[in-house]
Structure 1
Amino acid sequence: MLTTLITFFLFTAGVAVISWWFTRKTEMSHSSVGYFLGGRNLTAVLITASLLLTNLSTEHLVGLNGSAYAFGMEVMAWETVAALALVLMAIYFLPRYLKMGLVTITEFLELRYDKQTRVICSGLFLLLYITTLLPIVLYTGAISMESIFDVSKNLHIDKLTAIAIMVVGIGILGSLYAILGGLKAVAISDLINGIGLIIGGSLIPILAFTKIGDGHFLAGVNTVFQAVPDRFNAIGESTSDVPFSVLFTGMFIPQIFYWTMNQSIIQRAFAAKNLAEGQKGVLLTAFFKIFIPFVVVVPGIIAFFYFKNSLNDPDYAYPELVKAVLPVSLIGIFAAIVVGAILSTFNGALNSASTLFSIDIYKGYVNQNATETQIVKIGRISGTIMAIVAIILAPFISMAGKGLYIILQEFSSIFNMPIFAIIISGLLLPKVSAKAAKIGLITGTSLYLFSKFGMEAMGVHIHFLHRLAVAFIITILTLVIASRYYPRKNNFVIHDTGAVNVENWKYVKPACIFIAILTIVVFILLSPIGIIPKQ
């Protein structure tokens, strides 16, 4: 146990020191672009690492592996389909965003609609981060630490208290990166932790298969596959957790929203030194996302076989498998890597939340003449307050029940879908007006809430992604109809601000085609017409 703790603290401290070293001479304290966008100087490698680590955290390692334990390979759609959304980001959204020189996605909403629409959406984003994303990241991270280190047993306390202690510790450490270091410190730490997570995360299923195969990796793969072949089928049945049909209805909404409109993600791409670097970073991320299920889905299937479906809570499948197959000498380092993944998502979302508050709300309404120094100061203060709120809420996540990843997706859609509708309409439908956008926000939110709570109260149970697709279509129709009664005076035109070079990467189109084909091939292979035997 002592060796585990020592290696854990050494690795974690090492990442912090390296991040400080590479950002110590960066002028951030008095510049909002420097603090929130790393000076618009991120290269493709840093963008890829930051995108992956901001996205990949314990809600995936714990939550998605837990869903895989309960349902099987079908849940990989949440990861693999993201590659197609990133292709859209590279070829359509990012060129337009960088051309406008955006710092926040809500800036676009003010340019396209009006200031009120921007502030309303900023408020919805902040609610999403504070009440859903940040607490779930902290809670799933605490589950990992409790399971790996047996905190409750070693401190002779109950599990809820142990998780609360872990939440506070992780929350404080993550806040220090985001509040004191800004985006560049986050990106540097992401690069180090990203390398560690890819290596360490891949090591878990490799070691597990090798152990099951008595020292032979392929023998272990064959043993698990032959024992539970249905678990490797990526094509979900109509009654499953992720039925295949949702890939053609509502799945595109959270995927495209998350990878092209979610501030905590696209802020990394906004920080690109030019469009070509941004496109390379986004598409490299897409390539990795196709294979990420080996890290965040396959271990859940292995755990189902290894523990003979005996775990009471699927969300403990991953940390328990780590303890079962990882040598004791490596547990401390792996725990540090997991904490790095937690911190990456937490501090990335916190940095983005403070960006939205300080620029959209503080400078937009409270102090329109705020200096750059004041904006950064408010960003740090608001980040601190939001971190405290998330830390307080996180322990109560346990009351939400099992299947944390699905819970995150379903409740996030309350905020995501209406914003997605008005942003996509703003880009594709030049005549949609500001008043119509506000009507659409109210309509979209009300429709989804009714489909979630009203229909279920009436005994009508339809998969939330199907409901989401219907609510989205009605919201778009509402925007179009409302714009006929409240028309826009002139069509919106995107102007080049010259913030960065917006010349396309010369290989962007063939790279996009390759990724799209590869995504389809993976689904075909993991289907009854591929390697999965028919039942």
Structure 2
Amino acid sequence: MYFGQGVSNDDAYGKLVADVLPAQLTGFFAAVMVGAILSSFNAALNSTSALFSLGLYKHVINPAASDEKTVKTAKLFVTVIAIAAMFGAPLLSKTSSIFSYLQTMNGIYAIPIFAVVVMGMLNKRVPSAAAFYSMVIGLVVMIGLLIAYPALNGGANTTELTGISNFHTMGIVFGSLMLIMFIGAKVAPRENPWEITTNTPIDMTPWKGTKVASIILVIAVVAIYAAFSK
């Protein structure tokens, strides 16, 4: 709608709202947006606090810490993270597209984690070492391609290095990590297949239509990708 009118990608949505909604509803819509943003921000802070306090501080930094000490440390940590996020947010205005930038940054950790999860679902004999090294390699490669290379080359896009878009680069890294874990499973497989253990009264019997629904979803995603890739 605004192509060729000098409207940036990140201003298009706000302009669309201003042009389409009646003036009486713009304030209401702004309140809705602020509420959505704050809820997402709070959710991210809560997750960050839990990961640091329970996953790192309690188990690695200070295992003997009391619950009260752990909670205080978590509050301090999340306060620092919130302040850093507030100061860092304006820097996003320098990116050509905030959406693409955030998706790229999410890919740094999401691709290695996703690769490990998928391989864990497909092969129960993958050794834990293969998953661990795949995570490390994936993080190093993604940071090198998406952060280090642009920083060392004046913000150049990795397309200039790889010849393909960042999103296709993520796909190649994903496939490579899957291959590493597959080779690990062939070279040094687990003695016993891994089985998930749950401590819950909830019935964990898989839904009988899981496989059919999964195949349909995969076909739909591939079809959508093929349609829009042109």
**Same fold per superposition (TM over 0.5):** yes
AA partner of residue 501 (structure 1): I
Point out which structure has higher relative CO (alpha carbons under 8 A, 6+ apart).
Answer: 1
Alignment CA distance shift 1:393-1:308 (3 Å): closer
TM-score by length of 2: 0.75
Alignment CA distance shift 1:431-1:386 (3 Å): same
Of 423, 436, 441, the match for 2:117: 423
Q: Secondary structure at the match of 1:502?
A: coil
Q: Secondary structure at the match of 1:418?
A: helix
Decide whether the 8 Å contact of 1:436 with 1:486 is kept in 2: no
User: Hey, what does 2:135 align to over in structure 1?
Assistant: 441
Equivalents in 2 of 1:457, 1:308: separation in Å? Answer: 26
User: Hey, what does 1:156 align to over in structure 2?
Assistant: none
Instruction: Tell me if 1:467 matches 2:162.
Output: no
Equivalents in 2 of 1:308, 1:407: separation in Å? Answer: 21
User: Hey, what does 1:172 align to over in structure 2?
Assistant: none
User: Hey, what does 1:404 align to over in structure 2?
Assistant: 98
AA partner of residue 327 (structure 1): P
Decide whether the 8 Å contact of 2:10 with 2:97 is kept in 1: yes
Query: How many Å apart are 1:475 and its aligned residue?
Result: 1.1
Alignment CA distance shift 1:449-1:505 (3 Å): closer
Instruction: Tell me if 1:476 matches 2:178.
Output: yes
Instruction: Tell me if 1:367 matches 2:69.
Output: no
Query: How many Å apart are 1:376 and its aligned residue?
Result: 3.4
Decide whether the 8 Å contact of 1:422 with 1:437 is kept in 2: yes
AA partner of residue 468 (structure 1): M
Q: Secondary structure at the match of 1:495?
A: coil
Equivalents in 2 of 1:492, 1:361: separation in Å? Answer: 25
User: Hey, what does 1:502 align to over in structure 2?
Assistant: 203
Of 339, 344, 350, the match for 2:39: 344
In structure 1, runs of 5+ residues without a counterpart are 1-303, 529-535
Instruction: Tell me if 1:395 matches 2:90.
Output: yes
AA partner of residue 445 (structure 1): L
User: Hey, what does 1:312 align to over in structure 2?
Assistant: 7
User: Hey, what does 1:196 align to over in structure 2?
Assistant: none
Q: Deviations over 1:296-328 (max 9, x none)?
A: xxxxxxxx1xx4631331211111222233333
Equivalents in 1 of 2:117, 2:43: separation in Å? Answer: 22
Q: Secondary structure at the match of 1:432?
A: coil
Query: How many Å apart are 1:383 and its aligned residue?
Result: 1.6
- The percent of aligned pairs where both chains have the same amino acid is 31
Query: How many Å apart are 1:489 and its aligned residue?
Result: 4.8
Alignment CA distance shift 1:450-1:377 (3 Å): closer
Aligned residue pairs, count: 212
Equivalents in 2 of 1:381, 1:486: separation in Å? Answer: 43
Q: Secondary structure at the match of 2:17?
A: helix
Q: Secondary structure at the match of 1:478?
A: helix
Equivalents in 1 of 2:123, 2:3: separation in Å? Answer: 53
Query: How many Å apart are 1:470 and its aligned residue?
Result: 1.8
Decide whether the 8 Å contact of 1:418 with 1:475 is kept in 2: yes
Alignment CA distance shift 1:403-1:331 (3 Å): same
Alignment CA distance shift 1:489-1:373 (3 Å): farther
User: Hey, what does 2:194 align to over in structure 1?
Assistant: 492
Could you say what the CA RMSD is over the residues aligned between the two structures, in angstroms?
3.4
Equivalents in 1 of 2:169, 2:206: separation in Å? Answer: 38
Alignment CA distance shift 1:449-1:351 (3 Å): closer
Q: Secondary structure at the match of 1:501?
A: coil
Q: Secondary structure at the match of 1:419?
A: helix
